[in-house]
Structure formats: structure tokens, C-alpha cells
Amino acid sequence: MKARVPSLILHRLLIAALTLLIVSFAVYFATSMLPGDTATILLGQSATPEAIAGLRKAMNLDEPAILRFLKWIGGLFRGELGTSYANNMPVAALIGDRLLNTLKLAGLTTIIAVPLALTLGITSAMRRGTLYDRIVTVATVGVISVPEFVIATSAVLLFAVYLRWLPALSLTGDAHGLMGMLRVYAMPVITLTFGVSAQMIRMSRAAVIETLNTPYVEMALLKGASQSRLVLRHALPNALGPIVNAVALSLSYLLGGVIIVETIFNYPGVAKLMVDAVSTRDLPLIQSCAMIFCVGYLLLVTAADVIAILSNPRLR
């Protein structure tokens, strides 16, 4: 069994690499099929046909799509993201600070959401059938049913309009000191935490309950083990794989939710940059931002698969 673990991990890594290649192909051609001509949008409707043709040639838009894709994917392997059409700047320079802002927002959300969700999920499984369990279950189902933009809009109305505790826009330039950071990040983090935690609570609760129903846990119960020992010593280590998968899948949800949150709160992150790039049809910038989200998602899912393999007692 031990010899099988490296082969399983290698298999997961190969699947991730192949998936990334397929996704890059889909991202490139999906963005290339966006309506409108890039040269016409950049020059305006009053531009002459000669000027449009010259700009298309300068940006290599007159080349076949498959040739442009091969050049683009080759540049990605070399770490070259290309040049922005709208700003005439390297895409890497435009993304640099924005990516750091998005990572800060995701990191703060993770620090709050993961301990909160695991605590509620595990304690709910330990007290299944009680009033506490029913309250947690109803609350998580209610949060899952509400879209992020509704939570974000409600937060703005409550904390910014009525109570006037927090600013409606999250501008990182105002994050000076602890109170400044709280004011800037409070509403985006609250919105993302609601969406991430709800799924994580349900999945971790289900994983622990499934492990508690196994024969070896029931045998430990018959031997007089306390409830906390049953969960912490017997159930939780064997439920680690499903719980890690639940955490990774829930955190990958950040990649979709952050687009809505950054747009509503005008937060200067990668998602907001990508939304702005769509309006100007800045293809290199759109493609690079999309690939960042795809790579982040694949890293989370692949890491969850590898940890699930390593934590599987039957494979160890």
C-alpha cells in the first residue's frame, strides 16, 4: 500500500497539469470570442480603417488564433504575461499590487472562516439532534441560499448607510493602523466569511458524523471513552481527508465570491482589475487574471487531494 501512495500523488499532479493546459486553451479562445473588435474599441468609432488595420497588425491580431495561442502559452511558461492593450504597460506590473491586495483579503477571510466553520461543524456533529445542531443547520442552509451580492448589499445598507460605522467603499489607502484596517476589510471579509463558512460547516459536520458511525468508534464508545476523546482521538484523525477537501473546496469558492465582493466594495484587487479589463476588451489582462484564478483553484483542489491521500489510514 505504501508504494501506491507516490503513484497516486503523481497521478493527481499529472491530472492537474493536464487540466491547467485545457483550461488555458478554453480561457484564451473564450476571451478571443468576446463581442467587438479590440482595435476599434481602443481607437474609437471615428478611427479610419487604415488606423484600425495598423493597430491590429501591431498587436498581432491579424495572425491566426492558434498561432497567437501558442505564442501566449509559451510566454506564460517563461513568465511573460504580455502587454496591456489599454495601458501599454506590462501585465505583470498591473497585476502585482492588485494580486497582493486580493491575497490579503483571502488570507484574512481564511483566518476567520476556517476556525469558525470547523468549530461549528465539529461541535454540531458532536451534539447532533440537539437544539444547537438544529440552529447551526438552519443558519448554514439560510446563508447558502443567499447570494453574495445580497449579503454585500445588506452589509452596506446596515453598516454604512444606517449605522454609519463603516465606509461603503474599501480603499486600501485608508488602512492605517488597526482601526483603519478594520474599517477597510470588515465588510468584504464578513461577506466572504458568510459564503465560505456555510459550505465548510455542512461538509465538516457530515464528515465527522460519518466517521462517528463507524464500528471502531462504536467499539471505543462501548469501552467507556468520553465524547471528546471519541471525536478528537478516534473520529477526527480519520475524518481529516474529507475535512481538508471541504476546506479546500470552500476556499476555492473565494475565487468566485471575491469577484462580486471586490466589484461591490470597489476593492482594488485582481478581480476588480479583470472586470475593468472586460469593459476595455484588454485581452492580455483578462487572460492573465483568469489564469491566476484557475491556477489558484487547481492548487487548492490538488493540495486537498494529496492531503487526503496522505491522511488515508488504509493507504498508510
pLDDT digits (tens, 9 = 90+) for 219-242: 766 676 666 677 767 677 777 777
- Length of the chain counted residue by residue: 316
- Name the band, by pLDDT with cuts 50, 70 and 90, for residue 78: confident
Q: In the structure grid, which three cell numbers stand for residue 246, read together? A: 471541504
Given a cut of 60, is residue 155 above it in pLDDT?
yes
- Domains of the chain in start order, with CATH, are 4-34+93-311 (1.10.3720.10), 39-80 (no CATH)
Residue 194 has pLDDT above 70, yes or no: yes
What is the share, in percent, of the chain residues with pLDDT greater than 90?
3
Q: Check pLDDT > 80 for residue 170.
A: no
Task: State mean pLDDT over 279-284.
Answer: 81
> pLDDT of 105-138, one tens digit each?
888 888 999 899 989 988 888 888 889 989 998 9
pTM of the model: 0.80
- Of 66-70, 172-176, 255-259, the poorest mean pLDDT is in 172-176
Q: Do 285 and 88 contact (CB within 8 A), yes or no? A: no
Mean pLDDT across the stretch 140-158? 84
Residue 173 is predicted with a pLDDT of 59
